Structure 1
Amino acid sequence: MKPPVFAQMLAPVRGRLAVAVLLQALAAVAGVVPMIAVSEVAAALLGGGARPERVWWLVAAGTAAVLVSLLCAAAASTVAHVADNALQLRLRRDLVRHLARVPLGWFSATNSGQVKKVVQDDIHSMHYLVAHTLLDVTSVVLTPVTALAYLLGVDWRLALVTLLPLAAGLALFARAMSGAGPLMAEYGRAAGEINSSVVEFVDGIAVVKTFGGARGAHQRFIRAADAFHDFFSRWSRRTTGVTTASQLAVSPVVVLIVVLGTGLAMIGAGWMPATDIVPFALLAPVIPAPVSGIGTRIQALRGGDTAAKSVTALLAEPVMPRPSDPEAPGEGGVRLRGVGFSYDGAAEVLSGVDLDLAPGTVTALVGPSGAGKSTLAKLVARFFDVTEGSITIGGVDVRRIDPAALYRTVGFVFQEVALLRGTVADNIRLARPDAPLEEVERAARAAQIHDRIQALPRGYDSEVGVDAEFSGGEAQRISIARALLADTPVLVLDEATAYADPHSEARIQQALSAVAAGRTLLVIAHRLATVREADQIVVLDSGRVVEKGRHAELLARGGRYARMWRAQEPAQESRRTDTVVETP
C-alpha cells in the first residue's frame, strides 16, 4: 500500500520528527504517573496501615513525573517546530527553483491565486500537521493506553467497562465521517475556487467602484462564495447530530456516570474493595477522551495530505527542457520555418509559419484578435516550445540555447507591466542587477521617464508602492528602460502602447524609436498606423501567414491588410498623434 503523499514529503525531516515523537511519548506516559501516584496514595490512606515512607515516595515519584512530562513535551514541541521550519524552507526553495524552470507561458495560463494557494497557503497548512498533529496523535494514543494498562491491574472487569463509552463514541464518529473523503476533496476544490475568485475580485475592484454592479461584474466570486456556503451547510447539517452524540458519549460526566455507577454496584455486591474505585474516578475519563478531538486531528491529516498533493502536483509541472550541450546564438537574425503550435495537443493555434527577421529590421505582426500574434511572439522568446518546425536565432535553434543566454539575446516588452516592490533603479536593473546608476539613468532618459523619476522624493531610490506610484504609460516607459538597459539584440514588443493615452503614447513611441536602433524588432500591433513604416508587415489570420510586405505594397494588393487599414482609417485620421516605430 502506497503511503500518503504527506508521509513521502516528510522524508527530509523524518529523523527530527522521530525524536520529537519519542520525546512526546515519554511526556505522555510520564503525564499519567502523577494520577497513578495520587490513586495509590488515596488507596493507601483510605485502606489504613499506610507506611509514611511509601506515601512520600509516591509523592516524590508523582512530582518528578510532572517535571519529566513538562520538559519532554517542551523539547518535543521545539524539535517538531524546528523540523517544520526546515521543511517549509526546503519546500518553498524547491518550488521557487521549479517555477523558475517551467515555461514562461505556463504563468499566462495559470491563475495567480492557484500558485499563491500552493506556495503560501498549502505549505502553511502543513504546519499544524508537522509541528502539532503528530505529537497530538502520540499523546492521545499513549495516554489512554497507559491509563488502561494500570486500571486493568486494579480490576480488569471495571476496566473493560471504561471502554464502553470509547466504543460508542468511535461508532458514532465513524458514522459521522462516512463518505468524508470525497467531501474533503470537494472542500479543497471549493476553497481553491474561493482563492482564485478573490484574486479576480480584487483585480476588478476599480470596476466595481466605478459602476457599482458588484454582483453582476463579479459573479464568479459570488457563485464561489455561495457554493461554498451551500456545500458546507449541507455537510454540517448531515453530521452535526451524530457528532454531538459522539462528543456526549465520551464526555467526562457520562464516563463517570457509567464507570462509577458500575463500580458502586460491584462494591455493593462485594466484587471489589471500595478503595479500588478511586483510580477509576481519576483515570476513567482519560481513556475515551481522544475521541473528542479525533475529528480535528483526522481533518488535519487529510488537510495535510491534500496540501501535500497540491505541492507535489506543482513540483511535477513539466519544466522547459534544457540543452545538455548548449550552443551560443550567432549574429544573424531570427528565422521561423514550418512553425506550428497547439496548447496541450488541442486545436492548432499556428500552422506552417515561415518568416525571416533580418538583423536591425522592424517586423510587425498584425491581424484580428485570436489570429496567433501573441503566441507567435512568445515562441520567439521560447515561452513555449514549438510543436512543429523550428525557430533559430543566429542559425541556432532556440531549444539549443541555454535559457540564460536566450534571455540575454531576446527581450520582451509586455502590454501589462509588472513593477516589483523595490526601488525604481532595481526595477530597471532587473536584467542587469550590477548595472551602474549612470547606465540606469541613460536608459531612463532614452525611455522618456528620467524627469518623472527625478521628481520622486528619493529619485531612483524611491520604492515602488511606497513613495513611488506610476501611471500605466509611465510604467510602460520603465519597462522600456529595462529593455534598453538589457540591450538585447532581439526585442519583442507586445502592443506596448495599448493602454496609453495620446500624450503617453507619444512619449512611449519616442522611447521605442530609441529601442529600435540597431536591434531586430518584432512588434505586435493593433493600430496599423503605428507600424506603417516597418520594414516588414506580416498579416496573420487563423494561425497562418496570409500576407507580408511593406505598408505601400500591401495596400496596393488590396487584400486583407488593405481592408483592415480602411476599417481603421477614420480612427487613424482623428488621432492627433500619429507616431510610428521608426526604422533605424
Structure 2
Amino acid sequence: MRKERGVLAVTGPAQPVGGGLFRAVRGRVLVVVTLSVVGALASVVPLVGIVELTRALWPATSGGAVDAGRAWAAAVGAALALVVAVAANLGAVLLAHLADSDLQLDLRRRIVQHLRALPLGWFDARSSGAVRKVAQNDVSAIHQLTAHALQDAVTTVVVPVVVLAYLFAVEWRMALACLALVLVALVLFAGVMRGSAEKYAQYDASLADLNAASVEYVHGIAVVRAFGQAGRSHRRFGEVATRFAAFYGQWSRETAGLMALLEVLTSPVVVLAVLGAVGTWLVTSGAASPLDVLPALLLGATVAAPLLTLGFSGQFLRSAVQARASLLAFLSTPVVPQPEAPVAADGHDVEVTDLSFSYEGEHEVLRDVALRCPAGTVTALVGASGSGKSTLARLLLRFYDPTAGAVVLGGADIRQLAPADLYRSVAFVLQDVQLLRTSIRDNIRLARPHADEEAVERAARLAHVHDRIQRLPRGYDSVVGEDAHLSGGEAQRLTIARALLADAPVLVLDEATAFADPDSEAAVQDALSSLAAGRTVVVIAHRLHTVVGADQLVVLDRGRVIEHGTHSELAVAGGLYQQMWERYAAEAPAPAPLAGPGVAR
C-alpha cells in the first residue's frame, strides 16, 4: 500500500487476469482448424479421382489398353478420400460445437465472477438490459465464430486454392478462366460491400430505435389507452417502423442488382457454361484435348461457390466480431482493488476526511468533504439536487472509491476492509427498491440466508410489513412478481425488514420514502425509526421534515460542505439551510420525523 494525495492506495490488479477470450478452448480450436483443412483437402480428392479415373479408362473408348493400376489407384484413392473428408468434417463440426458449449460456459462463469468484482457503482450506471446483453446476447453471438465461421473460412480459402493449383498443373488456360470468374466475383462482392460499415452502423441505430419503440409501445399500452392516447402512441411506433423499413428498403435496392449478378455468376450452371465455352474453343482449335478440359468442368464450380457462402454469413460474422469486442471490453473493466492484508474496524463511527470524487476524472462532484458521524447518531445530508448527497452516500458504501481523501469506519479506511466485513458492518436502503423474483422470506433474509422463521417475522413486524405479508396468498412463501404484488411503500418496508435482519451497526438511507404512497409513508417512517435505533445512521432526504430530529445536519452545495449543526441551530443561522427550510415549511406538511437517539419519536 502507498499514500498518494492523502489517498490510501490498495495494491492489487485493477483488471482480472484471464488471458484471451478463447483460453478455455484454444487447443480444440486449433484441432478444429486442422480437421477443417484436412476435410477441405480431402473433399477435392474424389473429384480429382474421377478425372484420373477417366484418364485411365479413356483409351478403352478407342480400343486401346486400359491402365488398370492407375484406374484402381484413382478409384480407391477417391473412396478413401471421401471417407476421410466425411470423418474430418464431422469431427470438426462435433468438436467445434462441443468447444462452443464449453466456451459459453467458461465465458458465463467469467462474466459472473467479473460482475462480483466490479464496483457497485458500475451497476448504478447501467440497466439490467446492459448486463443481459453481455451475459446472454454477446455470448450467444460468439457461437457463430466457434461453431461455424472457422470451417467456413477454411473451406472458402483452402478449396479454391487447391483446385486452382491442380487446374494450373493440368491445363493453365482453363485455370485462368476459373480464376477470372473468381476475380469478377470478388469485384462484385466488393461493390456490394462498399460503404457497408456506415450502412451497418445506421442499421444498428435504426434497429435499436425500433426495439425501443416496440418496448415503449407494449409497456405503455395500458396507460395510453386509459388516457385516450392509443392513436398517438401507435403513430409514434408506426413512424419509427416506417423509417426503418424505408432505410432497409433503400439499402436493399442499392445492393440488389450487384447481389443478384453475383449469385448468378457463381451459380454452378453459369460457371459450367462459361468453362464449357472456353473448353470447347480450346478443343476445337486443337489447343487442348477433351481430357485436359475435363478437370475444370468438374471442379470449376467449387472455386467460386464458397465466396457466396461466406458473403451470406457476413452478417452473422459481423455480429460475432462485435460481441467479441463487447465481451473483451467488459472483461477488461477495472474491478474493485482488494487489500493485500485486510484489517478489522474498531467501532462503528464513520469519518470522511478531505474527500474528493469525480466520475470521469474531469468534473469533481465532491470537493474536500469532511464530516464525522459518531457511533449511534443520526447524520442527515441535505442540499439541492446535484449537490452530491447521493454520491457521498455511495462512497460510504464503496460503490466507488474517492479520487482523494478517505472514508474511515471504526478507524480503518474502508478500502482496507474485506468486502464481506464491510457489508456486514454497513447496510443500506436506497430509493431504488430491489427485490428478487423469489419468496418474500428469501427476500428478507438475503443478508442472512439461514435466519430462522422467528427472526424473519420479527424483522417484518418491526418494518410494519408483517400484516401485509400475511394477507398474501401464500404468506411468506409468496413469490415477488407472481403472487406477491407490492406497492412502492410496501416494497420499501420489505427492504427495511431485510436491513433489520442484517443487523448491521451502520446504516445508509438514501431518500428511503421517495416512492412510498401517502398512506404508507407514516408506516415507512416508523419502520425507519425502528431500523435506526442504536445504529450509526447517515440519511439523505429531500423531505426535510423527516430529518429535523437528526443529531446533526450536513448541508452540501455544489459538492462542498457549507454548513453543519442541528436543525434548531441551522434553521435560524441565516444560511442555505434556513432558506431551504422556510421554503419547504411553506409548501409541505410535517409528518413524524426520523429521530436520532435521545430524541422523542
TM-score, with structure 1 as normaliser: 0.88
SS at match of 2:111: helix
Q: Distance in 1 between matches of 2:257 and 2:70?
A: 49
Q: Which amino acid aligns with 1:373?
A: K
How does 1:17-28 map onto structure 2 within 5 Å?
17-28=29-40
How does 1:171-210 map onto structure 2 within 5 Å?
171-181=187-197, 184=200, 208=224
Q: Cα gap change, 1:467/1:579 in structure 2, threshold over 3 Å: closer, same or farther?
A: same
How does 1:149-228 map onto structure 2 within 5 Å?
149-181=165-197, 184=200, 208=224, 211=227
Name stretches of at least 5 consecutive residues in structure 1 with no aligned partner. 1-6
Question: Is the contact between residue 166 and residue 249 of structure 1 (CA under 8 Å) also seen in structure 2?
Answer: no
Tell me which moved more, 475-484 or 272-281. 272-281
Question: Is the contact between residue 33 and residue 62 of structure 1 (CA under 8 Å) also seen in structure 2?
Answer: yes
Q: Which amino acid aligns with 1:23?
A: L
How does 1:423-572 map onto structure 2 within 5 Å?
423-572=439-588
SS at match of 1:351: strand
Q: Cα gap change, 1:273/1:247 in structure 2, threshold over 3 Å: closer, same or farther?
A: same
Name stretches of at least 5 consecutive residues in structure 2 with no aligned partner. 1-18
Match of 1:373 in 2: 389
Cα offsets for 1:9-36 (capped at 9, x unmatched): 3344221011112222222223233333
Tell me which moved more, 288-297 or 258-267. 288-297
Question: Is the contact between residue 333 and residue 520 of structure 1 (CA under 8 Å) also seen in structure 2?
Answer: yes
How does 1:75-474 map onto structure 2 within 5 Å?
75-181=91-197, 184=200, 208=224, 211=227, 235-474=251-490
Cα offsets for 1:208-255 (capped at 9, x unmatched): 555566898899999987876676556545444333333332222221
Match of 2:47 in 1: 35
Match of 1:580 in 2: 593
Cα offsets for 1:327-357 (capped at 9, x unmatched): 2111141112222222212332222322221
Question: Is the contact between residue 117 and residue 192 of structure 1 (CA under 8 Å) also seen in structure 2?
Answer: no
Tell me which moved more, 551-560 or 513-522. 551-560
Q: Distance in 1 between matches of 2:295 and 2:545?
A: 93
Instruction: Give the drift of 1:261.
Output: 0.7
Q: Distance in 1 between matches of 2:424 and 2:182?
A: 67
Instruction: Give the drift of 1:542.
Output: 2.0
Q: Which amino acid aligns with 1:482?
A: R
Q: Distance in 1 between matches of 2:415 and 2:221?
A: 41
Instruction: Give the drift of 1:446.
Output: 1.7
Match of 1:3 in 2: none
Q: Cα gap change, 1:190/1:317 in structure 2, threshold over 3 Å: closer, same or farther?
A: farther
Cα offsets for 1:298-354 (capped at 9, x unmatched): 544444333222212222222222222222111141112222222212332222322
Q: Cα gap change, 1:412/1:225 in structure 2, threshold over 3 Å: closer, same or farther?
A: farther
How many correspondences in the alignment? Answer: 575
Q: Distance in 1 between matches of 2:97 and 2:35?
A: 13
Q: Which amino acid aligns with 1:29?
A: L
Q: Distance in 1 between matches of 2:512 and 2:365?
A: 23
Question: Is the contact between residue 103 and residue 320 of structure 1 (CA under 8 Å) also seen in structure 2?
Answer: yes
Question: Is the contact between residue 113 and residue 196 of structure 1 (CA under 8 Å) also seen in structure 2?
Answer: no
Question: Is the contact between residue 391 and residue 398 of structure 1 (CA under 8 Å) also seen in structure 2?
Answer: yes
Q: Distance in 1 between matches of 2:412 and 2:233?
A: 48
Tell me which moved more, 180-189 or 109-118. 180-189
Match of 1:68 in 2: 84
Q: Which amino acid aligns with 2:185?
A: G
Cα offsets for 1:458-515 (capped at 9, x unmatched): 3333332233222222211111111111111111111111111122212212211210
Cα offsets for 1:355-390 (capped at 9, x unmatched): 221111111222221121111111111212222332
Instruction: Give the drift of 1:267.
Output: 1.9
Q: Distance in 2 between matches of 1:218 and 1:378?
A: 40
Structural RMSD (CA)? 3.3
SS at match of 1:566: helix
SS at match of 1:515: helix
Tell me which moved more, 126-135 or 227-236. 227-236
Q: Distance in 1 between matches of 2:366 and 2:91?
A: 61
Q: Distance in 1 between matches of 2:218 and 2:544?
A: 34
Q: Distance in 1 between matches of 2:107 and 2:230?
A: 38
